[in-house]
Amino acid sequence: MQNSMAEAPHTAGMCNETLSTSSPSSEFPPGMLVLLAFLMVLLALVTILGNALVILAFIMDRNLRHRSNYYFLNLAISDFAVGAFCMPLYIPYSLTGKWHLGRGICKLWLTMDYILCTASVFNIVLISYDRFLSVTKAVSYRAQQGITSNPLIKMVAIWVFAFLLYGPAILLWEHVAGCSVVAVGQCYAEFFSNWYFLLCASTLEFFVPLLSVTYFNVHIFHNIERRQRHGSTQDCEPPRRSSLSWRFCPLLRQGMFSPPLEAEDSLSSSMKPKKESLVTESSSRSRGNSVTPENDFSVSFCAATRSKLQQDKKIAKSLAIIVCAFAICWAPYTLLMIIRGACQGKCIHNSLYEITFWLLWLNSSLNPFLYPLCHVKFRMAFMKILCPKKFAALRSGSL
């Protein structure tokens, strides 16, 4: 996902044509270059520190170590590497217009950049898919919470797919073509001007993930609206006689009842005694009493259902933010990259392309704030790391 700068003379093994553009650094005065360098370094630092905080919180707080949060960890790792490796190497290249680190480092940087950015996108899709399952298929989702091999396999698969999408093309393109289109002193992918490859790769890297995340988000909102309509037509009054199974079993089959993970222990401990005492207490109480075990179970059930619905509403809002941020950060770069490849870099001004390129990297800086900060447990873990005294006071006050 790289930019070509000033044209350099051809050498042996070069193709007849190279992509010729001017360096944006030549268009700005020294003062502007200093400002740009400051902003670039600042963005890299925010990306590193933000994602490092997510990783540190996951290591220090065992409450975060359940299946869905592993995907946040995988996302933070890919975004952290973008800020720690890709951005620092690109900043001097972007400002001077010349690559000074040699051909080997260039290949390594290209491979890492493409793989890390692609893995970040795939992680967003995986997080959205996991949220989608937790809302629409709550019963089966909760049944698999203890299976840790499942998320690990998905996390590894993301990196494998990201490498297969761009890695072989970056490393082997010039060997297959028999020549290189990259000028001396430059560092960009050999397929940078190949419109057909860019269109196919962008479809798998951007358009399909965007449609997938949008699909998940729309279905989550539809599921929540359906449950709200269902809840408005059915009250939560105490069931009468055999109405217990009639009222609750359809909800269980539809996956509407699944208490939040944080309330699992408290709900299970409070509901089990009531279920066990259902037979013994019903024999000793008259049917005319207003308080029965069935009533208690109904109240607990309705409270847990409302809690689950509120939790799913928060998930839906966070996914809506994911869709918007991902589209805003990736769409301009993807579209300009395809157009630029089609016209060999002659129809898109290089400064405009540079802006969209950094906008793409901005997504890696925003991710730590968009996803974990919408999660209560992550917020508490961040407070524990950054403000231990405030966290201790809050915890003692809650106790």
Q: Measured in Å, how far apart are the chain's first and last C-alpha atoms?
A: 51
Pick 24-228+303-398's CATH classification: 3.40.50.170, 1.20.1070.10, 3.40.190.10, 3.30.465.10: 1.20.1070.10
Residues 289 and 105: their CA atoms lie apart, in Å, by 79
As a residue count, the chain comes to 399
Write out the chain's pLDDT in tens, 399 residues: 544 333 333 444 666 555 544 455 556 678 888 999 999 999 999 999 999 999 998 888 888 877 778 888 999 999 999 999 999 999 999 888 889 899 999 999 999 999 999 999 999 999 888 888 888 887 777 766 655 557 888 999 999 999 999 999 999 998 888 888 888 888 988 888 888 898 899 999 999 999 999 898 888 888 877 877 766 544 454 444 444 443 444 444 444 444 444 444 433 444 444 444 444 444 444 444 455 555 555 556 566 666 666 666 666 777 778 788 888 999 999 888 888 877 776 777 778 888 888 999 999 999 888 866 667 777 788 888 888 777 777 777 655
| pLDDT at residue 206, as a whole number | 92
DSSP designation for 371:
T
pLDDT at 130: 87
Domain residue spans in the chain?
Answer: 24-228+303-398
- List, in order, residues 6 or more apart from 229 with CB less than 8 Å away: none
What predicted TM-score, i.e. pTM, was given to this entire model?
0.76
pLDDT given at position 78: 94
Q: What is the pLDDT of residue 384?
A: 83
Per DSSP, the three-state class of 14 is strand
Phi, psi of 173 (to 5 degrees): -60, -50
What amino acid is encoded at 157 in this protein?
A: A
Using DSSP's 3-state secondary structure scheme, residue 138 falls into helix
Question: Quick one: CA torsion of 253, 259, 260, 261, rounded to 10 degrees?
Answer: -90
Q: Which residue has the tokens 């989550």?
A: 220
Residues in contact with 190: Cβ distance below 8 Å, sequence separation at least 6, in sequence order: 169, 170, 173, 174, 177, 180, 181, 182
The structure tokens listed for 153 are 């396999």
User: Which residue, 133, 48, 64, is CA-closest to 375?
Assistant: 64
